[in-house]
Amino acid sequence: MRYFSTRGKAETAGFAAAALAGLAPDGGLFVPEEIPPYPAAVRSSLGTMDYRDIAFETIKPWVSPDIPEAVLEEMVYSAYPFSAPLVEAADRQVLELFHGPTAAFKDFGARFMARSFSYLRRGEDKPLRILVATSGDTGGAVADGFFGVEGISVTVLYPKGRVSPLQERQIAGLGGNVSALAVEGSFDDCQRMVKAALGDAELKKRLELSSANSINVSRLIPQAAYYSAAAGRALAGRTDPGGEASPRTRPRHHGEQGGCRVQKGQAITLVVPSGNFGNLTAGIYAWKMGAPVRRFVAATNINRTVPDYLESGDYRVRPSQATISNAMDVGAPSNFERMAAHLSWTEMKDAILGAAVSDEETRETIRSVHRRAGYFLDPHSSVGWAAADKLLNRGLISGPLGILSTAHPAKFAETVEPLTGPVPVPPSLAKAMERSPQTRSIPAELSALLDSL
């Protein structure tokens, strides 16, 4: 597989070079020359395959020949002792992406990245410094995934005062080879500073640098697997019972009726809570590989840059606004550049519907879903649910409907519990709450970041 920059096709790179560089030399994002289709035998078996086998088949063509198949298989089976169950809740399905160690979907990308980087840099003497900007969950997942990995250190930038107390403990509570910087600004400031540092010629002479944000293509590739797994199961008319971390106060009764349940032979519409749009880009990759997805919904909070673009064709970035779904507070989503490299406006609007949700609507949805179904939503997943309600009410979507649940609600207990009562806490989060964050505050200036490295 070869990759080129979203800003020019003159030079290409293999997976190893693209992943370790993070950004292309011209400041663009790496995208594949072509999106590899699933073999027919894999495509027809997505509904019954083990999750790790789907992940292996999804990732394999993207990393060839830089990661041999035997090595990749070991990486995948090591990275994913957990899966992504598609469970029923009220009248629709929820794709639970929080069964990993930091209880957020970012675990799927970060754990693969840590293993692939360790392999790709085998034999290197100079240590690698990874810079990552986070609006919440990315930082914790990257910190956990790379913690203790020899020869690699991580610096996480997060917007001061705009992440939850638990997220801050996950980002800044490990120590060791992981350090944290609380930036006096927004996520967009953090992202701008990381991009500028990665492009700083003098810094690159001093340090080996890379990124673990979704600007890095190696973060996105493994995320495509859970789209394919969910879409395959839905087409086969199957759902899962959930797992230890599934946040219910009562079980769903067999035979309970709902208007958007999976039905064998019907492709599912997947609703994606979206901020920096890496997750939805991974969904597009899965769809183009052959995953039976009917359509996507890009669900945002009031930072509605992409829903507005889908409606008007006019792409205008804007300053991010703080909301209770803080991981989605992005006014200039980096991965839109990738989406636009693969799809025209007309193609994008055919494949993706957009909807924006207010904080008031987010809270009311958390309350009502728990009251009706005994199921807890975190604020980001609630944005997805509320966006689907809006589109259903307008008659714009029909058939099986799946909401990507991107984080466990216990990570946002201060928002959720006043609306629902106590949220069940998975063991991984209970352990994280015991940590003490170790962080430094810096102004939102590149010079402050450079002085910290």
Per residue in 164-194, pLDDT (tens digit) is 888 899 999 999 999 999 999 998 899 899 9
Is the distance from CB of 267 to CB of 399 less than 8 angstroms?
A: yes
Alpha-carbon radius of gyration of the chain: 20
Closest CA to 15 of 276, 216, 287, 277: 216
State residue 210's pLDDT score: 86
**Mean pLDDT, all residues of the chain:** 93
What one-character-per-residue DSSP string does 106-145 give? HHHHHHHHHHHHHHHTTT--SPEEEEEE-SSHHHHHHHHH
HSE on the CB side for 370, CA within 13 Å?
Answer: 24
User: Could you tell me which residues are beta bridge partners of residue 270?
Assistant: 296, 402
Per residue in 415-435, pLDDT (tens digit) is 999 999 999 999 889 988 899
Per residue in 112-166, pLDDT (tens digit) is 999 999 999 988 888 899 999 987 778 898 999 999 888 899 999 999 998 888 8
- 204 catalytic? Reply is no
Backbone angles phi and psi of 143, in degrees to 5: -60, -45
Is the distance from CB of 146 to CB of 179 less than 8 angstroms?
A: no
List of domains in the chain: 82-104+218-425 (3.40.50.1100)
* H/E segment holding residue 327: none
Of 106, 160, 288, 411, the catalytic one is: 106
State residue 135's pLDDT score: 78
Is the distance from CB of 273 to CB of 380 less than 8 angstroms?
A: yes
Rounded to an integer, what distance in angstroms lies between the CA atom of residue 320 and that of residue 142?
Answer: 23
